Chains A and B, each alone.
Chain A
Amino acid sequence: MSCIKCEHVTFSYENQVVVSDLSFQVQAGDYLCIIGENGTGKSTLMKGLLGLKKPAAGVITLGEGIRQNEVGYVPQQTENQKDFPASVWEVVLSGCLNSRGILPGFGAKEKRLAEEKLKLLGIYDLKNKSFRDLSGGQRQRALLARSLCAAKKLILLDEPTTGLDPLATEEFYHLLLELNKKHQITVIMVSHAIQEALEHADHILYLSQESHFFGTTENFMDSEAGRKFLGRMEE
């Protein structure tokens, strides 16, 4: 079953084209990594998939049963979250807003959902801790829990492991793999950690100025674009 389908999509900022004529399709249960050099439009594409930026051309279709506001998102950490006074519980619960509509407050259903996700990611005992006192890895887990509250089937992540130490990075990837395999959550992630990306993902979308590559991870390693890219990474 198709989860997201991009057909001949182009993104541009004020006439400057950032991504051109991109087509790919993500099936339910896939694990897709988006890689590419800086400035090739990975974050822009993420915004497009989240419905925050309209493509200049082409169409993005979400699969059946996924509403636009039910796509989970783990952003790159922003500066102003570093000293934000909020408990983990408040942060995670804020992911449940989309099921609340106009109603104020949160009901028992949302609270149960948030509790369940905290337990799933092993941070239930951090519930009352302040978000700003968490380690980088714990913070990303909290943001992941929040995105799982918003999403039923699909989560997007934009460089979630930037700034984490190798061990925390490894753990985070492990967690994602588990969500993907055990809980059938479709994962689309922008990543600069190429090693881990190639290890875990089953599909690769490679963006570059000249051309795009989309296919399975094995195909990517064999392709010309892939060999060139990996060759450059090793230098």
Chain B
Amino acid sequence: MMQYVTEMFSYPFMVRALVVGILLSLCAALLGVSLVLKRYSMIGDGLSHVGFGALAVASALNLAPLTVAIPVVILASFVLLRLNESGKMKGDAATAVFSTGALAVGVMVVSMSTGMNSDLNSYLFGSILAMSKEDVAISVVLAAAVLVLYVFFYNKLFAVTFDETFARATGVRTGLYNSLLAVLTAIVVVLGMRMMGALLISSLIVFPALTSMRLFQSYRSVIFSSVVLAVVSFVVGMSISFWYGTPAGASIVVVDMIFFCVSSLAAWVKER
């Protein structure tokens, strides 16, 4: 056992992937609780497809992937949240349009520029080799920012999530906190999607929250449990991926799903 663990840590790419992944899972879980409860579960998915399109275009044009993808995805995130608020176009419809549209553009660009296969595969399903030193630095900064902001604004975010109208009436600047949520989500999605894959990154956002919501009764305990679950599933999934050579994203999602099923079962048994 110990020997396996040391082996895993002897590869620098694994250490990077673990550091980035643990920090991102943690952030995604925190944001995820609010997003799921605000009925924005699909936004992560929509954004990851937009991110895929942006990454494909960036690499075809030989631009730095993150500098293109992050602003594009932040913009998309704002548009999606705004559309949801104004009610002009139903949020889920807008998300569907964005995500399929961007996915199609991405696939077109990739197939025309590099001829498919390996690149496309790693964009869609992720690769643990994808994390650079730069990513580690960015995700440390991001995770620190998310944590500090989250703790500092915890009660306001709770109020905005629970009842936006009431929060606004009592002087909470809901627009500001929604924007904060949008920006942080966008960044988490872009950083995470290269490891998890565009198709699977949104699982980091929804699964821990959904699993915890079944098990715990108060908001605070749901938050704590989500964070713990997210980190545990990530580490377990990553180890499986390392030992069996399965794609990282899929392995993590499978672990997430097992937790979800177990917790659903537990909640069901408790109710009987």
Contacts and interface: CB of A to CB of B under 8 A. Distances in A.
Interface string A135-152: 000000000001100100
Contacts of B163: 75, 78, 81, 94
A97 B216 contact: no
A149 B129 CA distance: 53
26 contacts: A50-B165, A52-B165, A52-B168, A68-B171, A69-B171, A70-B170, A73-B165, A73-B166, A75-B165, A75-B166, A80-B38, A81-B162, A81-B163, A85-B217, A85-B219, A86-B158, A86-B219, A87-B217, A90-B158, A94-B159, A94-B162, A97-B170, A98-B170, A104-B154, A128-B218, A147-B166
A190 B172 CA distance: 24
- Greatest chain B CB density within 10 A among A73, A93, A128 is at A73
A143 B213 CA distance: 21
Interface in B210-229: 212-213, 216-220, 222
A133 B159 contact: no
A93 B218 CA distance: 13
B157 to A, nearest CB: 10
A73 B165 CA distance: 9
Shortest beta-carbon contacts, A-B, top 9: A69-B171, A130-B217, A87-B218, A86-B219, A98-B170, A50-B169, A94-B159, A150-B170, A104-B152
A224 to B, nearest CB: 35
B79 to A, nearest CB: 20
B130 interface: no
A97 B219 contact: no
A75 B154 CA distance: 22
Interface residues of B, number: 29
B162 A86 contact: yes
A104 B155 contact: yes
A83 B214 CA distance: 10
Nearest to A90: B219
B142 interface: no
Contacts of B222: 85
B156 interface: yes
B218 A86 contact: yes
Nearest to A49: B169
Contacts of A133: 217
Nearest to A50: B169
Nearest to B215: A85
Contacts of B153: 104
Q: Is the interface of B mostly helix, strand, loop or mixed?
A: helix
Contacts, number: 87
A147 B159 CA distance: 12
Contact of A87 (B39, B166, B219): B219
B17 to A, nearest CB: 32
B269 interface: no
B159 A97 contact: yes
Interface string B252-264: 0000000000000
B39 A80 contact: yes
**A interface, how many residues as a size bin?**
35 or more
B165 A84 contact: no
Interface of B: 37-39, 151-156, 158-159, 162-163, 165-172, 212-213, 216-220, 222
A151 to B, nearest CB: 9
Contacts of A86: 158, 162, 218-219
Interface string A95-139: 101101000111000000000000000000000111001000000
A93 B158 CA distance: 11
Contact of A97 (B151, B156, B217): B156
Contact of B37 (A84, A97, A104, A128): A84
A5 B39 CA distance: 37
A98 B218 CA distance: 22
Contacts of A80: 37-39
A58 to B, nearest CB: 20
Interface string A148-165: 001000000000000000
B148 to A, nearest CB: 10
A73 B168 CA distance: 11
